[in-house]
């Protein structure tokens, strides 16, 4: 089975063409065009993101076809009448995300679907992140076997829009056991980075400074709060942490690079300690053997190391997504479309944004 997938939920225009055979996957192409226009504004503006998706999507589609070695069909007859093959299904992100951005991908999917009579699979963006770590390696054109979905697993989803702990009871059976009450962790990285005058996108910039700080071994008294660490549930909150950093900077203006590094590192320590400790607790309570990590913040080395350490100490295994698909991409949307084509069993919270009908 061959699936063409489309992701436009935020500021990345992604299209992938993937070949599946049972439990094996071959990435024929995976193109992501990340919008750079938002850099100067420190955040993603929905109307601007939509405009960029519209401008880019046809080019991304052509590039994805080219990388896959497929000439995009030009007329309905060719594909519909079976005179030539194309793809068997189109998987598209239908939410959650920025509605104007989502519509660009959905409209593009519908046009292709109508033109060539190809069925559409509606995919939840978070299910894409959740399943992304089942891909063990990333090599275009090489067939790879998926990791099997563990019977007892917890997923930790950390992105710019979400911070969630999900109990997985098989593909398609998800129960969100904890979520953020305010800012998502990626959003907190982005906002703290702005306070430190770091360039957008900010997660990697903070983490680079934090790593530099750790390697310098500077001693500091500075310690930011660990919000909701002892809340007794699996929810998160990062806005208080962000505010305490704001007050710290107000009362202790940044003088030099060392000050910036110290704040970046202490922020990363605080945010990641809470996330890792809550993950350990969820693993224990649900008797999980595996943690499936997903989302843009999964690229964070310190988080990866701390989770690995927690896994070794507490006897569970971490499935990390390969670096190429931690951020938003169409490959993970394809994987979710393939594994859960009907998206029947997904609870409402995980479904597409409320008023979006496809």
User: By the criterion CB under 6 A, which residues form the site for ligand KG4?
Assistant: 10, 159-161, 186-187, 189-190, 201-204, 207, 295-297, 299-300, 327-328
Picked from ligand KG4, Zn ion, none, the partner binding residue 227 (CB below 5 to 8 A depending on kind) is: none
Cα gap 20→150, rounded to integer Å: 20
| Least separation in angstroms between CB 293 and Zn ion | 13
Q: Answer yes or no whether residue 164 interacts with Zn ion by CB under 5 A.
A: no
Least spacing, CB of residue 212 vs ligand KG4, in Å: 14
The residues pairing with 290 across neighbouring beta strands, listed in sequence order, are: 153, 317
- Name the nearest CA neighbour of 26 among 13, 17, 39, 36: 17
Q: Which is nearer to Zn ion, 190 or 328 (CB)?
A: 328
Q: Rounded to the nearest whole angstrom, what is the least distance from the CB of residue 243 to Zn ion in the complex?
A: 25
Q: Which partner in ligand KG4, Zn ion, none is near 337 (CB below 5 to 8 A by kind)?
A: none
Give 180's DSSP letter. Answer: B
The partner in contact with residue 178, picked from Zn ion, ligand KG4, none with C-beta cut-offs of 5 to 8 angstroms by kind, is: none
Looking at 30, 35, 93, 159, which residue binds Zn ion (CB under 5 A)? 159
Rule CB under 5 A: choose which of 135, 326, 328, 343 binds Zn ion.
328
Residue with the two structure tokens 């590094």? 261
Can you read off the two tokens belonging to residue 196?
């430190």
Task: Using the minimum distance from each CB to Zn ion, give the nearer residue, 213 or 236.
Answer: 236
When CB distances are held under 5 to 8 angstroms depending on the partner's kind, the choice from ligand KG4, Zn ion, none that residue 327 binds is: ligand KG4
Using alpha carbons only, give the angle 325, 329, 334 rounded to the nearest 5 degrees.
Answer: 95
Burial class (CB in 10 A: 0-12, 13-18, 19+), 304: middle
Q: What angle do CA 10, 326, 200 make, to 5 degrees?
A: 55
Instruction: Write out the two tokens for 19.
Output: 């070949």
Picked from ligand KG4, Zn ion, none, the partner binding residue 172 (CB below 5 to 8 A depending on kind) is none
Stretch touching Zn ion by CB under 5 A, among 87-95, 154-162, 176-184, 277-285: 154-162
The entry of ligand KG4, Zn ion, none that residue 189 binds, CB within 5 to 8 Å by partner kind: ligand KG4
Nearest residue (CB) to Zn ion, 109 versus 263:
109
Q: Which does 73 bind (CB under 5 to 8 A by kind): ligand KG4, Zn ion, none?
A: none
Which of the residues 61 through 120 are near Zn ion (CB under 5 A)?
none
What's the closest the beta carbon of residue 159 comes to Zn ion, in angstroms? 4
Which CB atom, from 207 or from 269, has the smaller least distance to ligand KG4? 207
For 86, 88, 137, 146, 357, the CA distances from 26, given in Å and listed in that order, are 15, 15, 11, 10, 31
| Cis before 60 (ω within 30) | no
Residue 34: CB partners within 8 Å, gap ≥ 6? 11, 12, 327
Contact status, residue 111 vs residue 24, Cβ threshold 8 Å? no
127 binds Zn ion (CB under 5 A): no
Three-state SS at 95: strand
Strands 2-7 and 89-95: parallel
Q: What's the closest the beta carbon of residue 235 comes to ligand KG4, in angstroms? A: 18
Rounded CA gap, 114 and 50, in Å?
22
Count of residues interacting with Zn ion (CB under 5 A): 2
Q: Is the peptide bond before 201 cis (omega within 30 degrees of 0)?
A: yes
Query: What's the maximum distance between 2 C-alpha atoms anywhere in the chain?
Result: 71
Smallest separation (angstroms) from Zn ion to the CB of 129: 6
**In the complex, what is the shortest distance from the CB of residue 337 to ligand KG4, in angstroms, rounded to a whole number?**
17
Smallest gap from residue 76 Cβ to ligand KG4 (A)? 34
Please tell me whether residue 262 binds Zn ion under the rule CB under 5 A.
no
- Please give the residue ranges that form the binding site for Zn ion (CB under 5 A): 159, 328
């Amino acid at each position: 089975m061959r699936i063409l997938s489309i992701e436009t939920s935020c500021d990345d225009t992604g299209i992938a063409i993937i070949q599946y055979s049972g439990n094996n996957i071959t990435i024929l192409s995976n193109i992501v065009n990340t919008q750079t226009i938002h850099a100067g504004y420190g955040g993603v503006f929905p109307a601007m993101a939509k405009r960029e998706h519209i401008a880019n999507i046809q080019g991304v589609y052509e590039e994805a076809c080219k990388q896959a070695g497929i000439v995009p069909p030009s007329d309905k007859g060719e594909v519909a009448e079976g005179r030539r093959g194309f793809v068997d299904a189109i998987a598209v992100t239908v939410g959650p995300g920025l509605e104007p951005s989502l519509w660009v991908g959905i409209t593009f999917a519908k046009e292709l679907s109508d033109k060539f009579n190809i069925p559409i699979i509606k995919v939840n963006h978070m299910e894409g992140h959740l399943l992304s770590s089942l891909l063990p390696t990333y090599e275009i054109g090489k067939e790879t076997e998926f990791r099997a979905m563990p019977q007892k697993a917890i997923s930790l989803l950390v992105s710019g829009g979400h911070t969630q702990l999900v109990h997985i009871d098989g593909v398609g059976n998800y129960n969100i056991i904890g979520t953020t009450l305010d800012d998502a962790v990626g959003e907190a990285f982005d906002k703290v980075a702005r306070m430190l005058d770091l360039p957008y996108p900010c997660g990697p910039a903070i983490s680079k400074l934090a790593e530099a700080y750790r390697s310098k071994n500077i001693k500091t008294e500075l310690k930011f709060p660990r919000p909701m660490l002892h809340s007794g549930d699996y929810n998160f909150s990062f806005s208080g942490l962000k505010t305490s950093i704001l007050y710290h900077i107000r009362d202790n203006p940044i003088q030099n690079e060392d000050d910036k590094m110290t704040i970046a590192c202490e922020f990363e320590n605080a945010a990641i300690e809470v996330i890792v400790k809550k993950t350990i607790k969820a693993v224990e309570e649900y008797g999980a053997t595996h943690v499936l990590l997903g989302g843009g913040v999964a690229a964070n080395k310190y988080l990866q190391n701390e989770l690995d350490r927690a896994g070794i100490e507490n006897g569970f295994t971490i499935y990390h997504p390969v670096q190429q698909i931690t951020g938003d991409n169409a490959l993970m949307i394809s994987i979710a479309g393939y594994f859960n084509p009907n998206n029947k069993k997904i609870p409402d919270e995980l479904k597409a944004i409320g008023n979006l009908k496809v």
